[in-house]
Structure 1
């Protein structure tokens, strides 16, 4: 019994020693993981010490080369090497050696180490920066009446949940900038279910949207009715056109008859003897005129001029 109790005490002592060692190493290294949402302006602090002679920020981003920001207390002078304008001292380094990043982006991810030099030694503090990108949420219905939820370009990938629960098939698509698009299609257990809510969980913030989609059976009925109504509309339209065309042709026949070849009037015997009758009439007129002249002059019959 006593030996067993001693073993328990020894085990607890070892655990406490290991825990204290881990805490000590953590305090010595001063390393912290920091997650910041894109577009924010984070501030990194240095270890607070007195009698500081030099402050150096050593920055190693994932994109681009390393850069440094330095300050020397003995010369009261600052300098910078290869750092962009978005990285700078929060205020005067002799007052506050904190570093501020304006409008943080994915390119700012990396290691940020503040190294303080004092008369007592060097005291580094390191931050591992990761940038969170909230996904763009969209919810729509596909051609089969299923709900489709898209969490586009999120970092890290979003987690999609459906309310009420049902069958879902999430797919991930990675992009070159480290963001991931998650696409989830939802099929309800109940075929009459038309409304569903897509909930997106993400470290940068949760989002949700609801939408009503009609099942594929209802879509088929609606499509069939639409086709029938369209065909009926076309038939009615063509019938109206034919009706007006027929009546328009009849009206044109009544108002403007077709031109026909001219017909000659019937010829009778009178027209055939008309030239002869005219000649006889002229001969009679001449004869009568000569007779009247002879009678008037009392000429002998033998002296009459020849006719």
Structure 2
């Protein structure tokens, strides 16, 4: 029992100490691009003021003021952070055009003749998402809250049980996408409501059934065109292939075969004609010679 009691006391002491350390931190939310002013504890008889900046990303920096020297100084702080007024009058810190890189812890420490005081801030930068609403290829409403910080909340009118999709970016922003699926085909008008710390927005859209058909046409028309081109290519290929086959099967043109018998057949009629002509010539010659022989002489036998 003693051990249990000591354990409980230690737990309570640690919890109280942690609460005391975090109770003095004030959270300040600023929309990106706006200016922010952080104040110090109001005190008189200020001897020294120091602003300590510890951002989430990057190195720490500091701004200081010494009343005895009436002089200010800074270490590694950008020009976007400076004194809002005169430090001896009001040592407030101004951050111009707040960016995501300014997010972090800011501490003002004041040293006075009455003692030391501090004030702590946790600066949170808000990034409003870019809201878009459109119809997808299936005729459903699609709502997107892009690059918001923190992540936006999306709801529908009428209500929808769709589960949103989240995508985290390297700079700390988040994109949320939600699809509305209508249970009734007669339901066409939907409203997307985006809730965010930087401001709420809403948009409405009407996704007609014709939108779905027209989106499908964007898919079918290229497919039909591609099918026609493929068919023409196949027809041309087979036609070209058939012409080549026909050209290959056509018998080659060759010279007629020459046989020696043909020469004999061509020469033989001429030889017969010459022989006959010679026979006739000889007969005529004999007759002529017979007529020219003197009377009383006969041709030799």
* TM-score normalised by L of structure 1: 0.62
Query: Aligned with 1:58: secondary structure?
Result: strand
Residue matched to 1:154: 148
1:173 to 167, 170, 180: 167
1:46 has 2:34 as partner: no
Residue matched to 1:110: 104
1:127 has 2:121 as partner: yes
What is the number of residues matched between the two proteins? 207
The separation in 1 between residues aligned to 2:216 and 2:72, in whole angstroms, is: 73
CA RMSD after TM alignment? 2.8
2:131 to 123, 127, 137: 137
Residue 223 of structure 1 and its aligned partner are, at CA, apart by: 4.3
The separation in 1 between residues aligned to 2:199 and 2:67, in whole angstroms, is: 42
Query: Aligned with 2:192: secondary structure?
Result: strand
Residue 122 of structure 1 and its aligned partner are, at CA, apart by: 1.1
Contact 1:113 1:126 in 2 (8 A): yes
Residue 176 of structure 1 and its aligned partner are, at CA, apart by: 0.1
The separation in 1 between residues aligned to 2:173 and 2:215, in whole angstroms, is: 41
Contact 2:53 2:104 in 1 (8 A): yes
Residue matched to 1:208: 202
Residue matched to 1:287: none
Query: Aligned with 2:203: secondary structure?
Result: strand
* TM-score normalised by L of structure 2: 0.64
**Offset from partner CA, 1:163-189 (integer Å, 9 cap, x none):** 111232210000000000000000123
The separation in 2 between residues aligned to 1:142 and 1:156, in whole angstroms, is: 26
1:86 to 80, 84, 89: 80
Residue matched to 2:59: 65
Residue 162 of structure 1 and its aligned partner are, at CA, apart by: 0.4
The separation in 1 between residues aligned to 2:81 and 2:47, in whole angstroms, is: 22
Contact 1:166 1:189 in 2 (8 A): no
The separation in 2 between residues aligned to 1:221 and 1:54, in whole angstroms, is: 69
Deviates more, 1:148-157 or 1:187-196: 187-196
Contact 1:55 1:71 in 2 (8 A): yes
Residue matched to 2:24: 30
Residue matched to 1:289: none
| Distance change (3 Å), C-alpha of 1:157 and 1:218 | closer
The separation in 2 between residues aligned to 1:81 and 1:154, in whole angstroms, is: 32
1:96 has 2:100 as partner: no
Residue matched to 1:191: 185
The separation in 1 between residues aligned to 2:186 and 2:215, in whole angstroms, is: 14
Residue 76 of structure 1 and its aligned partner are, at CA, apart by: 0.5
The separation in 1 between residues aligned to 2:33 and 2:214, in whole angstroms, is: 46
The separation in 2 between residues aligned to 1:53 and 1:167, in whole angstroms, is: 61
**Runs of 5+ consecutive residues of structure 1 not aligned to the other structure:** 1-17, 232-307
The separation in 2 between residues aligned to 1:146 and 1:191, in whole angstroms, is: 11
| Distance change (3 Å), C-alpha of 1:153 and 1:221 | closer
**Runs of 5+ consecutive residues of structure 2 not aligned to the other structure:** 1-12, 226-301
